[in-house]
Structure 1
Amino acid sequence: YTTNLPGGGSDGLFVIDIRINTVLGSADTPYAVPHNLVVTQNNKLFVTHSGGTSDKVTIYRVTTHDPIPAFLGEVTVGFNPFGLAYVP
């Protein structure tokens, strides 16, 4: 996965198959400036949305059978969230 940082949320997330170096698809994000990503063992993708007044982290479902992110929800955090860590 990678983000389309300047895209304003349109095609904000791209799915890349690293075995064949190909973009498999994309998904919009409800907020602009998708930035940092982390994928958990239970098939959730967390995305920060950066910027001076941004305060959102969005959550998506991803699986090997359907790798295109499906929006699940969001979390309101402090301003300009930057960085994510996942500890299983």
Structure 2
Amino acid sequence: MGALPYVAEVYINNQVLIPAELVRTLGLQNARIACIMLEYKSVDITFNAELLKTRHTDSRQFTIPKSIRDKYGITPGAKVKVKKIEAIR
């Protein structure tokens, strides 16, 4: 899983995992905030999100904002296609 786009499942806490290999490939190890583009039900959705860091790996997670979830009907367990992740800072 070292390239975009990739399909991920939305966790019960409304977060999406970015695998460590992809984080390293995209150079996101030191990024705290990113611009993310998802595709859900053939609609492109772009938003900024904080990248949450785990203690011992390079993987990251981000939370899909409630306003986005409500507007597009994204629920836990839904499959989303992550099309773009760009570090903002």
TM-score by length of 1: 0.31
- Which structure's residues are more often helix, by fraction? 2
